[in-house]
Amino acid sequence: MRAITRVPRPSLRPFIGALWAAEEPGPATAGAGGRERMLGSGAAHLVFRLSDHPVRVYADLGDRTRRSLGHAVVGGPRATFYLRDRSRPVRTVGARLLPGAVTLLFGAQADELAARHTSLADLWGRAAVDARDRLLEAAHPERQLDVFESLLAARLPEVRGVHPAVAHALARFSANGDVGAVVEETGYSHRRFIALFRAAVGLPPKLYCRVLRLQAALRLLGRRPPPPLADVALAAGYSDQPHLNRDFRAFAGVTPTEYAANVLPGGDGVAA
């Protein structure tokens, strides 16, 4: 995979975690039939497919029929994996969205788009087609990212839109998965806080913390050679190695050993 990853301009950083432009090879780097198991990160993504082939996904592991999502897609926040078609070389420009950005960009709460893919045309109408046309006209990946930033900046306000209680929790969850303690710190009732958090992030707080922990394990297992599993479990915050194994099965559908052996270039998914 050839990819350019960029930190967005300062005005976009409250809303956008990263931007990328990528050229992905075909099935030689994917699993049988060119399928890739994409693991949930807990974040939403906005993706423009700039090659002729649209974004396609499979319903489940037993599905052999691809469902086309079009050339501009919003991937909602998710904890579990999904299967995407990687049978042909493609070019893509995309962004990882931070909590609060979904509502500001698309006029929907994050939990309304969670765990599914939504055509950008359903949210932006004709503007989705116009945006892709502008990206195609830019041609060069660096210039495409410049255009992409301009498109996003035109749709985002100058002030951060995430609720202060959610912002506090996100900062604390990166170092502390004790949801109950963090809720007490916000001063909100447990029920009210969960509603605020789900609307901004798309996932309930306990599930979001489990995804953060899994992401920490994925980064460790992406090293070459990967550390021993017992060390990975301890460093990522699991109580023990069986705890690590259970979350991998629940969210990735594979064991940690299977993930480490089959992780694809770029570290975003594994062959399926």
| CB distance 229 to 241 below 8 Å | yes
Q: Is the pLDDT of residue 17 over 60?
A: yes
Q: Nearest to residue 222, comparing CAs of 254, 259, 255, 271?
A: 259
Q: What is the mean pLDDT of residues 165-185?
A: 86
In the prediction, which pLDDT does 249 show? 93
The pLDDT of residue 139 is 84
Domains in the chain: boundaries: 2-155, 164-203, 206-271
What would the mean pLDDT of 36-56 be, rounded to a whole number?
94
Sign of CA dihedral 86, 54, 12, 122: negative
Chain-centroid distance, C-alpha 150 = 21
- C-alpha of 58 from chain center: 17
Q: Count CB-CB contacts under 10 A for residue 104.
A: 18
User: What is this structure's pTM?
Assistant: 0.86
Neighbouring-strand partners of residue 68: 56
pLDDT of residue 176: 67
CATH 3.10.350.10 assigned to domain 206-271? The reply is: no
Question: Using an 8 Å Cβ cutoff, are 97 and 56 in contact?
Answer: no
Helix (H, G, I), strand (E, B) or coil at 95: strand
On whether the CB atoms of residues 31 and 37 are closer than 8 A, the answer is yes
Q: Is the pLDDT of residue 127 over 70?
A: yes
CA distance 103 to 109: 5
Specify the fold of 2-155: Jelly Rolls (2.60.120)
Measure Cα distances from 89 to 10, 23, 29, 185, 221 in Å. Answer: 32, 7, 10, 48, 26
